[in-house]
Amino acid sequence: MSKMRWTWLSVPMIALLIVSSIGCGPKPPGRRGARAGGGGSDITDAALKTYVAPGDLDEYYLFYSGGHSGQIFVSGVPSMRHICTIPVFTPYPGTGYGFDDESKEMLGGYSWGDSHHPGFSETGGEYDGRWLFINDNANGRVARIDLRDFKTKQILKIPNISANHGSSFVTPNSEYITMSTRMSVPFPEGTYADVTEYAEKYKGVVAGIKLHPETGEMSLGWEIVVPPFNYDLGDAGKKASDGYMFWTCYNSEREFIEGGKLEITASQKDKDYILMVDWRAAEKATAEGKAEMVGGAPVLDPEKVSDIAWFLPLAKSPHGVDVSPSGRWIIGSGKLSPTTTVYDIEKVKKAIAEKDFEETIDGIPVLTYASVREAEIPVGLGPLHTQFDERGNAYTSLFVESAVAKWKLPPYESGADMNQYVVDKVPVAYNIGHLVTAEGDSITPDGNYLVALNKLSKGRHLSVGPSIPESAQLIDISGERMKVIYDAFTEPEPHYAVMIKADKLDPIEVYKKDDPAWPKNPNAIWAKEDARVERRGKTVEVWMMAVRSFFAPDVIRVNKGDTVIVHVTNTEQTRDELHGFAIDDYDINVVIDPGETKTVTFTADKSGVFAFYCTNFCSALHQEMQGYMLVKE
């Protein structure tokens, strides 16, 4: 598939943009590049860099997590135009997700999830464009989206994980993705213990989710039981740190005092930690039978199995941990400290070899801080997350300062004033959480663009009432100085996002009939003659064909109380010729892509006559695409 690239504006067009931006006449507030606070930019430069002319395509796909909407939003960069929503943990009538049997079963009875961290599959540390994974911070789950058709294909729930936040970070050859417990609960899952027993009975768990190399199918590899801290953000090692996984953790005080305000009690100690796991060692120990089955999961206990996990001390109440493209530098950010800490994985390995430990917590050695730390970088107030470009720069979001700091990765001169390595700062609007650079989690980031995912975007858009849209700002990082060049908005509530070169994805246009790339649906029908209704006792099964602009059959006769199974095949082989199958007053809306078959099963529990119709506009005669379900008392 050939893709047209976005092109630079022609000279007359630039002139027009400038002229129109300074023309007279009443203007809505905030136009003409007027500063609404934070993040200034030159309007012409910004317009040039973000304008994607009609018919042209963006350079990158940006996949935003949808937070508690349970979805993923997809935009193009640099235009920042929203192009689709992928429902993951939440039903979405727009694509019929959560209404047909298969997606309903995948949702597992939940009607929402809290998606935070999307992660691409990788080959050799590069985004390979096959799958996208995302965690559910609410219900201990992780999902896989197939990037051939932009659809959720699997949702995995595993035992013992309470609030899966430090997820889904992918290892360099997609061997594993991470999962971890954000809010420790009594162990194993389902155990009752009062919060007064927090320190003894509550536990954290981190897990490695194994990926099938060909299909991406996720399965539980192993779990490690860890102290009752809150395991927050994660990352997977690469190159120099390949084989390791990292998670920040807070509340190393291991307390939950009723009415005691965790914000205070969890910040008493000067340091918290990064938990580092050797996943190959965990895999090996599990294969050797050293894991015990607890709550239905193979669990390794560091008290009994050594050399699988270590703690790296880090400034208190940390949030992000990010591995640099070379894998050598591990960046930890303590949100209450004005610095990020850079660890050297070579020093970490040396400290492990020399047993250079400060202490041991629940069987997990704590590496000596001074031995593993490379530097503390004075980036600014409230550092959260760090991303990278291809030129040895790191970019850290500063929540409190509402800014992005650009700084240099090592090497540093010994004894140097570290302030000199913080080379630029740009204000954003406001209270930035995550940030993402183009291919920023791969071993070869692109640089070019950075998107700041801001948490509180007061008043930079038309007002829509008290719930303010989430804002994302596009920042040009191709030069020495960062420049904010676009404000974009989404629905609630992106946390992290990932950005991939557009030409790495080549999504399908239709499900081709008999395409071996997709599993054959045994209930597909491709001719009107094969359409039929069969009754077996109290079950009525329908094989239905949907094509412009009719359903066959278009009348379904059942009795009240019957179980009705409808398999609908959309036999179209033309792009964007989707059909919907909605039954009035039965809360059913299945949407079927060209060449796809979906099944919906329900009980005919209301008698009467119910129209069904096609919900997805398909032709001039779309309105005529309808039929009746007759339910006899």
Site residues (vs ligand CUA, CB under 6 A): 549, 579, 614, 616-618, 622, 625
What is the DSSP code string of 165-224? -S---B-TTSSEEEEEBSS-EESSTT----GGGHHHHEEEEEEEEEE-TTT--EEEEEEE
74 binds, among ligand K7E, ligand CUA, none (CB under 5 to 8 A by kind): none
> What is the number of other CB atoms lying within 10 angstroms of the CB of residue 513?
12
Residue nearest to ligand K7E (CB): 433
What are the residues whose beta carbons fall under 8 Å from the beta carbon of 72, sequence distance 6 or more? 63, 64, 65, 66, 85, 86, 88, 115, 118, 132, 134, 145
- Provide the minimum distance between the beta carbon of 470 and ligand K7E in the complex, in angstroms, as a whole number: 11
Q: Which is nearer to ligand K7E, 406 or 495 (CB)?
A: 495
Query: What is the side-by-side order of every strand in the sheet holding 71-77?
Result: 82-87, 71-77, 60-65, 497-501
> What is the number of other CB atoms lying within 10 angstroms of the CB of residue 110?
18
Q: Which is nearer to ligand CUA, 165 or 579 (CB)?
A: 579
157, 159, 184, 291 from 297: Cα distances, Å: 11, 6, 17, 9
- Contact residues: ligand K7E, CB under 6 A: 116-117, 165, 233, 319, 384-385, 433-434, 495-496
474 contacts 51 by C-beta, under 8 angstroms: no
- Provide the minimum distance between the beta carbon of 545 and ligand CUA in the complex, in angstroms, as a whole number: 11
**Hey, is 161 helix, strand or coil?**
coil
343 binds, among ligand CUA, ligand K7E, none (CB under 5 to 8 A by kind): none
- Provide the minimum distance between the beta carbon of 319 and ligand K7E in the complex, in angstroms, as a whole number: 6
Instruction: Quote the CA–CA distance of 445 and 388 in Å, as a whole number.
Output: 7
Q: In DSSP terms, which residues pair with 625 in a beta bridge?
A: none
Q: Which is nearer to ligand K7E, 117 or 373 (CB)?
A: 117
614 binds, among ligand K7E, ligand CUA, none (CB under 5 to 8 A by kind): ligand CUA
Q: Which is nearer to ligand CUA, 601 or 626 (CB)?
A: 626
Instruction: Quote the CA–CA distance of 437 and 494 in Å, as a whole number.
Output: 15
Q: Which is nearer to ligand CUA, 549 or 601 (CB)?
A: 549
Residues in the chain, how many?
Answer: 633
Q: Which is nearer to ligand CUA, 351 or 542 (CB)?
A: 542
Q: Which is nearer to ligand CUA, 427 or 594 (CB)?
A: 594
- Provide the minimum distance between the beta carbon of 403 and ligand K7E in the complex, in angstroms, as a whole number: 15
Q: Which is nearer to ligand CUA, 609 or 621 (CB)?
A: 621
- Provide the minimum distance between the beta carbon of 546 and ligand CUA in the complex, in angstroms, as a whole number: 6
Q: Which is nearer to ligand CUA, 443 or 578 (CB)?
A: 578
- Provide the minimum distance between the beta carbon of 96 and ligand CUA in the complex, in angstroms, as a whole number: 12
622 binds, among ligand K7E, ligand CUA, none (CB under 5 to 8 A by kind): ligand CUA
- Among 47, 66, 49, smallest CA distance to 58 is for 49
Which one-letter DSSP state was computed for residue 286? H
Structure tokens at 449: 């663009």
Q: Which is nearer to ligand K7E, 399 or 610 (CB)?
A: 399
- Provide the minimum distance between the beta carbon of 67 and ligand K7E in the complex, in angstroms, as a whole number: 8
Q: Which is nearer to ligand K7E, 272 or 344 (CB)?
A: 272
What is the DSSP code string of 76-144? EETT--EEEEEESSS-BGGGTBTTSHHHHHHHTT-S---EEEEEEEEETTEEEEEEEEEEETTTTEEEE
**Hey, is 316 helix, strand or coil?**
coil
579 binds, among ligand K7E, ligand CUA, none (CB under 5 to 8 A by kind): ligand CUA
**Hey, is 295 helix, strand or coil?**
coil
598 binds, among ligand K7E, ligand CUA, none (CB under 5 to 8 A by kind): none
CA end-to-end span of the chain: 54
496 binds, among ligand K7E, ligand CUA, none (CB under 5 to 8 A by kind): ligand K7E
Report CA Rg, the chain.
27
Instruction: Quote the CA–CA distance of 318 and 331 in Å, as a whole number.
Output: 11
- Among 559, 580, 588, smallest CA distance to 625 is for 580
434 binds, among ligand K7E, ligand CUA, none (CB under 5 to 8 A by kind): ligand K7E
* Sign of torsion over alpha carbons 39, 45, 49, 52: positive
- Provide the minimum distance between the beta carbon of 492 and ligand K7E in the complex, in angstroms, as a whole number: 12
495 binds, among ligand K7E, ligand CUA, none (CB under 5 to 8 A by kind): ligand K7E
Q: Which is nearer to ligand CUA, 136 or 572 (CB)?
A: 572
Q: Which is nearer to ligand K7E, 61 or 496 (CB)?
A: 496
- Provide the minimum distance between the beta carbon of 495 and ligand K7E in the complex, in angstroms, as a whole number: 4
433 binds, among ligand CUA, ligand K7E, none (CB under 5 to 8 A by kind): ligand K7E
617 binds, among ligand CUA, ligand K7E, none (CB under 5 to 8 A by kind): ligand CUA
Q: What are the helix (H) ranges across 318-437? A: 345-353, 369-372
Instruction: Quote the CA–CA distance of 265 and 104 in Å, as a whole number.
Output: 41
- Provide the minimum distance between the beta carbon of 625 and ligand CUA in the complex, in angstroms, as a whole number: 4
Q: Taking CA 91 as the corner, what is the angle to CA 103 and CA 508, rounded to the nearest 5 degrees?
A: 60
618 binds, among ligand CUA, ligand K7E, none (CB under 5 to 8 A by kind): ligand CUA
625 binds, among ligand K7E, ligand CUA, none (CB under 5 to 8 A by kind): ligand CUA
Phi, psi of 353, rounded to the nearest 5 degrees: -60, -40
H or E stretch covering 487? strand 483-490
384 binds, among ligand K7E, ligand CUA, none (CB under 5 to 8 A by kind): ligand K7E
- Provide the minimum distance between the beta carbon of 70 and ligand K7E in the complex, in angstroms, as a whole number: 14
Give residue for tokens 């700041």. 452
- Provide the minimum distance between the beta carbon of 627 and ligand CUA in the complex, in angstroms, as a whole number: 12
Q: Which is nearer to ligand CUA, 552 or 625 (CB)?
A: 625
- Provide the minimum distance between the beta carbon of 487 and ligand CUA in the complex, in angstroms, as a whole number: 36
- Provide the minimum distance between the beta carbon of 620 and ligand K7E in the complex, in angstroms, as a whole number: 46
Instruction: Quote the CA–CA distance of 439 and 456 in Å, as a whole number.
Output: 25
